[in-house]
Amino acid sequence: MKATEQQKRALADDGAIVVRGLFSGERLARMRAAFDYAVAHPSPQHGLAYAGTPDEHFNDYGNPANRDVHIAAVRELDLDEFVASLWGSEHVWFMGEELFIKKGGRAGRSPWHQDTSYMAISGPHMLNIWTSFEAIPERNSLEFVRGSHRGVQYNGSSYNDPKDPTKPLWLETEWPRLPDIEADRARDPASWDVFTWALEPGDALVFHSGILHGGAPVSPECPDRHTLVYRFYGDEAFYRPVPTGPSNYGYDTSTLNDLSLTPGQPYRSPHNTQLR
């Protein structure tokens, strides 16, 4: 399984692509088996995002106890080969998984954010493979700001204030606060170059971890969404520490930053798995 030249160019330039039928047939069943196992064996940090609000939904990520299950799925589906071909990278590392369940047709948008706000890593060789097990209309799909993976590194969203999705993650940083993209779009729909795709089961969104992305609400027309995300990095991924000090999310920077590395060094973490 190799990426096409068009896919490589679009991922590098726009920051996100859709890969139709990446998990069709038995491949989708294999992904669903990994997802179901992870839901049945959650990590200690699993829980309900925005608990007690209309936007409440299940979220879990990076469970070390389930790593072998996900790595087996990645290897059986040759995802490491596909990822390597997208970058032209000799090596590929698996960072981990994330799970989302939005049900009942009422959970709203996920806030706009960049995954790199929560990681001590940057560079061109970072990506997420995002797949849902239901058909997703365009208005319910994950949205992206074109080319933003090559732009400003913003502060993260704290994910704890539905009334203010730009509430900062990090309290002491030079990273600028997230823009209120939805407020801007309400005033002027063309204010941001936002793009997305409708999805069928088996389709996957593949995007750079640093691109601004958000959305993917459920609604009466698309009441349930079960999503599995796999994250990878390659040779051109570099250590870039996250801000130190307090956060609005309870993050402990000692678990994110690696004092044995200097900024700009190739990122190689003992917590990640080299696939090739």
Structural domains of the chain ordered from first start: 5-267 (2.60.120.620)
Out of 6-10, 87-91, 210-214, 243-247, pick the least confident.
243-247
Question: Residue 161's pLDDT is what?
Answer: 80
Question: In the predicted model, what is the mean pLDDT of residues 48-55?
Answer: 66
**Does pLDDT of 121 surpass 70?**
yes
Average pLDDT, the chain: 93
d(CA 236, CA 229): 21
- Predicted model pTM: 0.95
**Does pLDDT of 162 surpass 70?**
yes
Question: Residue 176's pLDDT is what?
Answer: 98
Residues 6 or more apart whose CB falls under 8 angstroms from that of 159 comprise 49, 50, 111, 169, 249
Q: Distance between terminal CA atoms of the chain?
A: 15
Question: Residue 104's pLDDT is what?
Answer: 85
**Does pLDDT of 48 surpass 70?**
no
Q: Which helix (H) or strand (E) holds 27?
A: helix 26-40
d(CA 4, CA 24): 18
DSSP string covering 159-181: S--TT-TT-BSBSS-SSPPPP-H
